[in-house]
């Protein structure tokens, strides 16, 4: 008789019994399984961005594990910026409205100080229109060529100097009703708008970085000489469900800023 070797103490473990074929043993640590369960609740929207999640004791009772196991799972989710611990208040679902989360995906920082030291960026929405996805846009967003997408272009300025030009593509269906006026009138970070008004939460991103000369009208929008080196950053942002929900191509001036990333 073959045995299904699983953690029987785990809330994920199924009932054991006779099986027709041997299964691969599951050696996932218990705290990782609890982490997956908490992540499932985040994905399903049980706890919204900015809301408190149940206490470690409540989660331990819910999953029938120790508080230490729950704490280790929460520690990892906090390290991944999906949860946020507040001393004496509890643990909350991270939101891009939080200062320490706002600059997760913006790695361009001023030479003179840390992220955010210049104050909020001045945003100029150049355009926002509905269009059809080209083959490369569709591939990045897991759509079909020709599917409807929203395309936006904006310039971010710091201390009155245009510093970042961004072209953004979003699948049209989840962002129905998004307009240039709505983008221009919203005072907070764009990802907070996505969270609060469209229920779309970006939790991770992948980037490709290269150097490109300023051309194709970008030099005019960024007020630099044609051919000036720009840092080109292509980013795909993903939701809890690991769905690509945004393609963003940014062109950064680096005469007063630099790209900063911490590797660990």
In this structure, is residue 46 part of a structural domain? yes
Looking at the structure, tell me whether residues 118 and 83 fall in a common domain.
Answer: no
Q: What CATH number is attached to the domain comprising 82? A: 1.10.10.10
Mean pLDDT over residues 112-133, rounded?
85
Residue in 54, 59, 44, 53 with CA at minimum distance from that of residue 92: 53
pTM of the model: 0.74
Average pLDDT of every residue of the chain: 84
Give the pLDDT band (50/70/90) at residue 26: low
Give the pLDDT band (50/70/90) at residue 16: very low
Write out pLDDT tens, residues 146-202. 999 999 999 999 889 999 999 999 999 999 999 989 988 888 888 889 988 898 988
pLDDT at 227 over 60: yes
Looking at the structure, tell me whether residues 118 and 234 fall in a common domain.
Answer: yes
Residue ranges making up the domain that contains 49? 30-93
Number of domains in the chain: 2
Give the pLDDT band (50/70/90) at residue 105: low
Given 39, 63, 93, the domain boundary residue is 93
Contact present, 222 and 125 (Cβ < 8 Å): no
What is the structure's pLDDT at 1? 42
Contact present, 238 and 201 (Cβ < 8 Å): no
Distance CA 242, CA 70 (A): 23
């Amino acid at each position: 008789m073959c045995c299904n070797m699983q953690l029987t103490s785990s809330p994920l473990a199924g009932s054991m019994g006779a099986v027709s074929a041997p299964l691969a043993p599951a050696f996932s640590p218990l705290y990782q399984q609890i982490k997956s369960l908490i992540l499932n609740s985040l994905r399903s929207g049980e706890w919204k961005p900015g809301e408190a999640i149940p206490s470690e004791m409540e989660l331990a009772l819910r999953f029938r594990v120790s508080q230490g196991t729950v704490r280790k799972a929460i520690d990892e989710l906090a390290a991944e910026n999906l949860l946020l611990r507040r001393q004496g208040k509890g643990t909350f679902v991270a939101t891009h409205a939080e200062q320490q989360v706002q600059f997760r995906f913006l790695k361009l920082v001023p030479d003179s100080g840390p992220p955010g030291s210049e104050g909020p960026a001045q945003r100029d929405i150049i355009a926002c229109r509905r269009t059809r996805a080209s083959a490369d846009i569709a591939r990045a967003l897991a759509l079909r060529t020709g599917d409807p997408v929203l395309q936006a272009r904006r310039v971010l300025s710091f201390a009155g100097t245009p510093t970042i030009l961004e072209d953004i593509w979003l699948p049209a269906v989840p962002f129905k009703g998004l307009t240039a006026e709505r983008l221009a009138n919203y005072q907070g970070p764009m990802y907070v708008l996505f969270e609060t008004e469209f229920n779309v939460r970006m939790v991770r991103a992948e980037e490709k970085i290269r150097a490109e000369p300023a051309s194709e009208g970008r030099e005019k929008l960024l007020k630099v000489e044609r051919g000036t080196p720009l840092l080109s950053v292509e980013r795909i942002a993903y939701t809890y469900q690991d769905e690509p929900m945004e393609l963003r191509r940014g062109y950064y001036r680096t005469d007063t800023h630099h790209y900063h990333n911490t590797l660990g």
